[in-house]
């Protein structure tokens, strides 16, 4: 379990690292130009921490380690937000040694609830929630239709991307971008983009696992 989940988190880290410049340039337009740098630094620290974990660690231990490390190393708002998300997902995955689509859905729901609580934000404010909430809805609906984890994540990734595109059409009312008011219009939200990248990386990782098993 730990092996697979650690590899999944490494895949997320790799996606963040290779999109570091993209995220930072999106943030330069409406924020403080550090989202990519911060996230890449955070996931690099995560990678170091995970390498010290025992192979027998359960899902909750892995995710808790990710959350704590992001909280202490990211620096921007995305640190406490994603950190809280992983801690809440850890709590939802307590004691699990395999993860069904329904488990993953519950963990995603807990993560989103954590982000909303920490950021006191709702959908439509030009934040990561504009990618995450539609992604969760698509995931849940696929899961209820009995689809596989990869199919659920594919549905989630598509809706997350729609959500990212939607952020271009709205004005930021949360975070640093809200200081720009109308000037934030037309710009894609960096937080929604990193949320999309995380989901896309998870889908790609699970797909590669599935192909390996075949």
Partner 1 sequence: MMVGIVIVSHSAKIAEGICDLARQMGREGQIILPAGGMPDGGIGTDAMLIYKSLIDADDGDGVIVLADLGSAVLSTETAFEFLCEEQRSRVAIADAPVVEGAILATVQASVGAALPEVMEAAISARELKKV
Binding site for partner 1 (CB under 8 A): 34, 38, 71-81, 83-84, 118-119, 175-176
Of 91, 48, 41, nearest to 70 (Cα)? 41
Could you tell me the smallest distance in angstroms from the CB atom of residue 94 to partner 1?
A: 17
The Cα 83–Cα 139 span in angstroms is 22
The Cα 163–Cα 145 span in angstroms is 22
Nearer to partner 1, 75 or 147 (CB): 75
Could you tell me the smallest distance in angstroms from the CB atom of residue 76 to partner 1?
A: 5
Could you tell me the smallest distance in angstroms from the CB atom of residue 176 to partner 1?
A: 6
Q: Are 67 and 91 in contact (CB under 8 A)?
A: no
In sign, the C-alpha dihedral spanning 193, 94, 10, 46 is positive
Of 162, 159, 166, 151, nearest to 203 (Cα)? 151
Nearer to partner 1, 36 or 79 (CB): 79
Could you tell me the smallest distance in angstroms from the CB atom of residue 55 to partner 1?
A: 27
Nearer to partner 1, 11 or 110 (CB): 110
Nearer to partner 1, 73 or 159 (CB): 73
Could you tell me the smallest distance in angstroms from the CB atom of residue 32 to partner 1?
A: 8
The Cα 71–Cα 77 span in angstroms is 9
Nearer to partner 1, 88 or 140 (CB): 88
């Amino acid at each position: 379990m730990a092996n697979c989940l650690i590899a999944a988190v490494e895949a997320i880290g790799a996606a963040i690292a290779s999109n570091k410049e993209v995220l930072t340039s999106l943030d330069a337009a409406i924020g403080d130009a550090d989202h990519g740098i911060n996230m890449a630094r955070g996931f690099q620290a995560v990678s170091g921490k995970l390498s010290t974990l025992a192979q027998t660690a359960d899902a909750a231990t892995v995710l808790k380690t990710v959350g704590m490390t992001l909280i202490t190393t990211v620096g921007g708002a995305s640190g406490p937000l994603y950190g809280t998300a992983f801690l809440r997902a850890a709590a939802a995955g307590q004691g699990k040694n395999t993860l069904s689509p329904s488990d993953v859905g519950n963990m995603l729901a807990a993560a989103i609830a954590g982000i909303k609580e920490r950021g006191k934000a709702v959908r439509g404010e030009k934040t990561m929630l504009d990618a995450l909430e539609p992604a969760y809805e698509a995931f849940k609906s696929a899961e209820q239709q009995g689809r596989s984890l990869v199919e659920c994540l594919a549905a989630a990734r598509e809706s997350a991307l729609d959500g990212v595109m939607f952020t271009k059409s709205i004005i930021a009312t949360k975070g640093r971008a809200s200081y720009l008011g109308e000037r934030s219009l037309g710009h894609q939200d960096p937080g929604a983009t990193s949320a999309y990248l995380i989901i896309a990386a998870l889908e790609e990782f699970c797909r590669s696992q599935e192909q390996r098993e075949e």
